[in-house]
Structure 1
Amino acid sequence: MSSGATGARARTMPARRALPAVVRDTHRALVEAGNWSGGEVVRIGLGVSRPYLVTDPAHVQEVLQDRAATYPRGDDTALWRSVRKLVGDGILAEGEVWAASRRTLAPLFRPTRVEAMVDAMADSIGTAVDALDAVADAGTTVDIGHELSRIVCASIMRLFFADRIPVDDALRIMAAQETVVTAMAPRLLVPFLPWWFPVPGDRRFHAAVQAIDDILLPVLRAALRDPGAGDDVLSTLARARTADGRPLGEKQLRDDLVAMVGVSTETSYVALTWLWPVLAGQPEVADRLYDEIDRVVAGGPVRAEHLPDLVYTRSVLDELLRLYPAGWILPRRAAADDVLGGVRIPKGATVILSPYVTHRMPRWWGETAESFDPDRFAPGRAGADGRHRYAYYPFGAGMHRCLGEHLFTLEAVLIVATLLSRFRFTLADPRVPDPRVATSLRPARAVRLTVRRVSPSTRRPEPARGVR
């Protein structure tokens, strides 16, 4: 609806109900607020902050696509202020700065280009997975989140930097990114605090950003001096030119690479960490997944030709992202007075969209909305139920839809197929963890498990060597 139209005042969930629930369990509180809204645009009373919650897929489309200029990311929201402190300007900015970065980066993540790198990615993943052989032999437990971060690091860092960054430095970048994400949590819990007001985690945040720059900037400067002929992202960007023929500046290159590496690694390993506790509670899903991977891959290395036949694997990952979207909350700031869903939105208001909430609402997904059912995404079924296309948006939507969506999908299938074709896993605690407040949807506790090799002849777990 145009900004000149009139609208009603939003219903407000009172602070006495909303605030204790948000403090106790932020994610659950937002889901409950979404169900309370019935799909209407509502306000959530959080004391001095009363953001608008948008859950109806039609309204999501209006905010993220149809009237995206009216609802920019908003530099003054707690999330985006923190993100900008890390990534500066570039692909996560707005306006012409964002558009210039998008024009530069988009060709690097086209499906055809990413698909051409599948076998190289598979080789990197396979080499990283080899380290689990020793874990299986020892019969010890591991943190699968840590192992996934290491595997994703091997794949993504090579794709972005070829051999310019040693493995140890790449792992240090990953560790610093982890620190950044956890250090931002206090500001997400008190979004109304001004940036100058110190909160726990600020020092760790700034130290982690500096650690990333200490590793990355010398590599970027060397690449700008001598880009080489490689097809990795850094070499390609170092050879790139702006619309007026100038080379990319160091700052733009740094900001875009930090943003894309951060998003690519974070989305992949955080989302995949949820798979193991989910499978532990869904043995029939686990059996179908193992059966498909064993049949298609047959114990060999995963290659590009296997991907079209890993249909159920893709459905499992789609459903995993429905319940556990890495980008679980998307705050926006109204740049002008507007009317959304018949509700007045004043200029300057904070508008919250949450794939995590919309994806779990029975209004859009039926009474089994919070159950794990990969068959929702079976070929021929997805979209056949008349569900609005923005009922599912784990990668965002509109002009800011994630550039790395296709990269994530291929990488995730490769990682899952490689791991499950070679090993079986037993969780130390099979319960699905609660999520914790962070920029991405992370488990509140480590997901620890034991690893057992799969026998090439029987496709059954082998006993751990030396373990009685």
Structure 2
Amino acid sequence: MRDPVNTLAALARRSRGTIVRLPAGSTPVYLVSHPDHVQHVLRGNWENYQRQGMFWRPLRRLLGASILDDGAAWEASRGILQPLLTARKVGSLGEEMARAIDERVGELEVHAASGRAFDAGEELADLVNQTVIKVLFGGRLSPEDGRRLSPAYDKAARAVALRMFLPSLSYSMRLPGDRAYQEAIETIDEVVLPMIRRRHPRPGGDVLSALCHARRERGEGERQIRDDVVSVYGAAAESTATTLTWLWPALDRRPDVAAKLYAEVDRVVGAGPVRAGHLPELTYTSMVLRELMRLWPSGWLFPRMAEKADRVGGVAVEAGAQVLITPYATHRLDEFWERPLEFDPERFAPGAQERRHRYAYFPFGGGPHLCLGRPLFEMAAPLIIAAVLSRFRPILRGGGPFTPFPAGSLRPRRKVELVLVRARRGAA
């Protein structure tokens, strides 16, 4: 309970990836970390391992029945949302996204002028929020309402943590965080539902209008659209903001990596503005992002429930058992990674990853449930890094250590505070 993220990773490393049965009351709970076993659960026999059960119950109040569900609700949502979030579709919005990022990064100048430290998590969440809103919702959400969404998601993600790790407790027993979680959901609904209720006569260039049109053609109402919007926004915005928050402590510990990253941005983007056309040349930036997602994957826990009895790695898994898969643990297994606890982007140099087991690295999940927000992340995250570093050299304040908080998405337990210094071209 004090540190479930690192406890599960330590158990996985100690067992060398063999399956571990966890003490969790009457319901059997298994930690699955070996890539072969992860592949079996997420892909080979995925229909038997459903996103149901006690670990999912607290999240249902926020997410409802949508792309993060299973069965008919998941199939319907996937059929509608997948064509709207392909790499080609997202790519067509690249220049618009780059302009939105550059404009919002320009607002960080106030921090450089003051020289005062600020909360990087808050600023990055707002930056990502404003960018994703343009892609998902077009101009249908005011900046004021948009700025209510990100803090509400952060509040919900933190507040639900205790429920996730005490899943067998009845909701008649109040826990710290229950009220904050409900308040966060109410805020999200206050923003999302009025936006859905506005007229959407035909599908436009944004995801929301196309989603409303598709759902209403099927005779479905605002609640289903709300669940889709909440799930997709969370998958796109949360993963990007939380991953980028880990960047600054990582660069502080590895000034050699920071210097290479700065040099690439100087060469490719210069003084800016950043453009979507820069993405293919931001090779080292992509390597840094992949290593960030290896060590601190936003989606750090994928619970599943076995519908029927099965055998995984020779171990009998009972029907109804809970199976915990955590990329955070698998990405740290010594059997598949050299120096697994070190931050080293070179392990993702072109060609290096070809020698790796497909499920030794799976920050976006795997199998049919691969995260639909991946194309948004892969476009927005490197553009944000390049836009920030083309203008500034962030300096970490407060040292560390920065340990993970076991929220719905992985984030540092303490604030990451930065001071911004204006970049000088050619200077690391």
What does residue 238 of structure 1 align with?
A: 212
Rounded Cα–Cα distance in structure 2 between residues aligned with 1:129 and 1:292: 18
Rg larger for: 1
Residues 443 and 376 of structure 1, relative CA distance in 2, 3 Å threshold: same
Rounded Cα–Cα distance in structure 2 between residues aligned with 1:375 and 1:256: 37
Check conservation: 1:281, 1:430, Cα contact below 8 A.
no
Rounded Cα–Cα distance in structure 2 between residues aligned with 1:196 and 1:89: 23
Q: 343, 357, 372: which is aligned to 1:403? A: 372
Amino acid at match of 2:299: G
Rounded Cα–Cα distance in structure 2 between residues aligned with 1:56 and 1:27: 17
Q: 356, 378, 382: which is aligned to 2:353? A: 382
Residue deviations 1:215-235 (CA, integer Å, cap 9, x gap)? 21111011xx33355301111
Amino acid at match of 1:123: R
What does residue 464 of structure 1 align with?
A: none
Q: Which runs of 5+ in 2 are unaligned?
A: none
Residues 341 and 229 of structure 1, relative CA distance in 2, 3 Å threshold: closer
1:272-421 map, 5 Å: 272-366=244-338, 368-383=339-354, 385=355, 387-421=356-390
TM-score (norm 2): 0.97
Matched, 1:41 2:19: yes
Shift of 1:47: 5.1
SS of residue paired to 2:266: helix
Rounded Cα–Cα distance in structure 2 between residues aligned with 1:177 and 1:147: 14
Rounded Cα–Cα distance in structure 2 between residues aligned with 1:460 and 1:138: 21
Amino acid at match of 1:64: L
Rounded Cα–Cα distance in structure 1 between residues aligned with 2:317 and 2:28: 12
Residues 341 and 381 of structure 1, relative CA distance in 2, 3 Å threshold: same
Matched, 1:63 2:41: yes
Shift of 1:459: 4.2
Rounded Cα–Cα distance in structure 2 between residues aligned with 1:227 and 1:173: 25
Residues 302 and 177 of structure 1, relative CA distance in 2, 3 Å threshold: same
Identity %: 43
Check conservation: 1:427, 1:450, Cα contact below 8 A.
yes
Shift of 1:36: 2.0
Rounded Cα–Cα distance in structure 1 between residues aligned with 2:218 and 2:28: 45
Check conservation: 2:58, 2:164, Cα contact below 8 A.
no
Q: Which runs of 5+ in 1 are unaligned?
A: 1-22, 462-468
Shift of 1:247: 4.9
Matched, 1:122 2:114: no
What does residue 17 of structure 1 align with?
A: none
How many pairs does the alignment contain? Answer: 428
What does residue 271 of structure 1 align with?
A: 243
What does residue 466 of structure 1 align with?
A: none
Moved more, 229-238 or 262-271: 229-238
Matched, 1:190 2:159: no
- Cα RMSD (Å) of the superposition? 1.5
Rounded Cα–Cα distance in structure 2 between residues aligned with 1:254 and 1:28: 34
Residue deviations 1:284-333 (CA, integer Å, cap 9, x gap)? 10000000110001112111221111001000000100000000011111
Check conservation: 1:334, 1:350, Cα contact below 8 A.
yes
What does residue 424 of structure 1 align with?
A: 393
Amino acid at match of 2:61: K
Shift of 1:191: 2.2
What does residue 24 of structure 1 align with?
A: 2
Shift of 1:275: 0.2
Residue deviations 1:46-80 (CA, integer Å, cap 9, x gap)? 45565111011011011011111111011x323x1
What does residue 9 of structure 1 align with?
A: none
Residue deviations 1:428-463 (CA, integer Å, cap 9, x gap)? 1233401112111110100001001123xx4448xx
Check conservation: 1:281, 1:431, Cα contact below 8 A.
no
Rounded Cα–Cα distance in structure 2 between residues aligned with 1:109 and 1:263: 12
What does residue 179 of structure 1 align with?
A: 155
Check conservation: 1:238, 1:247, Cα contact below 8 A.
no
Check conservation: 1:272, 1:412, Cα contact below 8 A.
yes
Check conservation: 1:91, 1:259, Cα contact below 8 A.
yes
Check conservation: 1:227, 1:236, Cα contact below 8 A.
no
What does residue 107 of structure 1 align with?
A: 83
Residue deviations 1:398-442 (CA, integer Å, cap 9, x gap)? 111100111101100000010011100111123340111211111
Q: 77, 88, 94: which is aligned to 2:54? A: 77
What does residue 128 of structure 2 align with?
A: 152
Residue deviations 1:257-280 (CA, integer Å, cap 9, x gap)? 011111211111011100000000
Shift of 1:45: 2.2
Rounded Cα–Cα distance in structure 1 between residues aligned with 2:400 and 2:274: 30
Amino acid at match of 1:389: R
Matched, 1:438 2:407: yes
Extract structure 1 runs of 4+ deviating beyond 6 A: none
Rounded Cα–Cα distance in structure 1 between residues aligned with 2:37 and 2:25: 25
SS of residue paired to 1:389: coil
Rounded Cα–Cα distance in structure 2 between residues aligned with 1:303 and 1:326: 26
Q: 406, 416, 423: which is aligned to 1:447? A: 416
SS of residue paired to 1:425: strand
